[in-house]
Amino acid sequence: MFGLGKRRSKFGKFLDRYGITQQELSDASGVNRNSISRVAQSDDNQPSMKNAAKIVKALKKAGYEVNYDDFWSM
């Protein structure tokens, strides 16, 4: 039964590990929830630098020590 469920990127796994919902992050960062969902699904999807900066800033404000490089490669 392994492998069942949704595909997740490093970013998506981070959200799951800490119980952060996409809607909470969307409200805190100002990034559309669909954009957050897209980048949480696959490592092939990367946000624009503007949206990535908003996401990282919101996570840092919430007390998480994260950087762009933790989730996405340049």
pLDDT digits (tens, 9 = 90+) for 18-71: 999 999 999 999 999 999 999 999 888 899 999 999 999 999 999 999 999 999
- Going by pLDDT thresholds of 50, 70 and 90, the confidence category of residue 1 is very low
Q: In this model, does residue 3 exceed pLDDT 80? A: no
d(Cα 27, Cα 36) in Å, to the nearest integer? 11
Task: Note the pTM of the prediction, 2 decimals.
Answer: 0.87
* Residues in Cβ contact with 33 at an 8 Å cutoff, skipping those fewer than 6 apart: 22, 23, 26
